[in-house]
Amino acid sequence: MNLEKRSKSLFLAGLLMSLAMVQPASVLACAACYGQDTGPMAQGMNWGIFSLLGVIVSVLAGVAGFFIYLAHRATPVPAPAVPEPLAGSTEGI
């Protein structure tokens, strides 16, 4: 019984996908491919590209900044200078 439901749902999904591919509106090209590079659809597409590019650049800058922070934290701190009279003494041992 379970196999019949699954095959029926796969058939319906395939039928819906094939009907969606046959629709004439889905064959129309986007604004860049169609040749209208100054229309509102092309401007919206350009803004979408630039906003996604801004998000990617900011994330990559954050990751790079984190690694720079880690590299800065990993640098060894120089030991404090010991005064000369204490350097040769064995008083603290």
What residue segments make up the domains of the chain, in order of their start? 40-74
Q: What is the C-alpha separation between 32 and 45, in angstroms, rounded?
A: 9
User: Model confidence over 15-68: pLDDT tens digits?
Assistant: 888 887 777 665 566 656 666 677 787 788 889 999 999 999 999 999 999 999
Neighbours of 84 (CB within 10 A): 7
- Contact by Cβ (8 Å): 28, 34: yes
Question: Which single residue is written with the structure tokens 């590209």?
Answer: 49
Task: Determine if the pTM surpasses 0.85.
Answer: no
